[in-house]
Amino acid sequence: MKKIKFGIPVFLFWAGYVRACDACKLQQPKITQDFTHGTGPESNWDWCIVVGITVITLITLLYSFRFLIKPGEKNRKHIKNTILDF
């Protein structure tokens, strides 16, 4: 419970800190104005790269949850089962 009470103010502080500044918002396209600093994607190839990286990240996230929930190991002493015991 102490970690949650400490984590909420830290999260709220970082949520305001990681936003882009006003000068960078003007350089970004409408989709990414509040998220990143610097110039935005300059061509359609940049957007293809962003979409590709997003797809790879989502696939990796889904597989990590899948193998965390059903690790496929029958041995109760396997390291993956220590996470599931909590």
**What's the whole-number mean pLDDT along residues 14-38?**
70
Structural domain range at position 56? 42-86
85 in the same domain as 63: yes
* pLDDT greater than 90 at residue 33: no
Task: Please indicate whether residue 2 or residue 43 has the higher confidence score (pLDDT).
Answer: 43
Give this prediction's pTM: 0.53
50 in the same domain as 35: no
48 in the same domain as 86: yes
**What's the whole-number mean pLDDT along residues 20-48?**
76
33 in the same domain as 18: yes
Lookup result for tokens 């104005």:
33
Write the CB contacts of 40 (distance below 8 Å, at least 6 apart in sequence).
27, 28, 29, 32
Task: Please indicate whether residue 4 or residue 21 has the higher confidence score (pLDDT).
Answer: 21
**What's the whole-number mean pLDDT along residues 12-25?**
64
49 in the same domain as 27: no
59 in the same domain as 33: no
Amino acid at site 64: S
* pLDDT greater than 90 at residue 55: yes
34 in the same domain as 62: no
Rounded to an integer, what is the distance from CA 41 to the centroid of its chain? 20
* Whole-Å CA distances, 10 to 4, 19, 53, 60: 10, 15, 28, 27
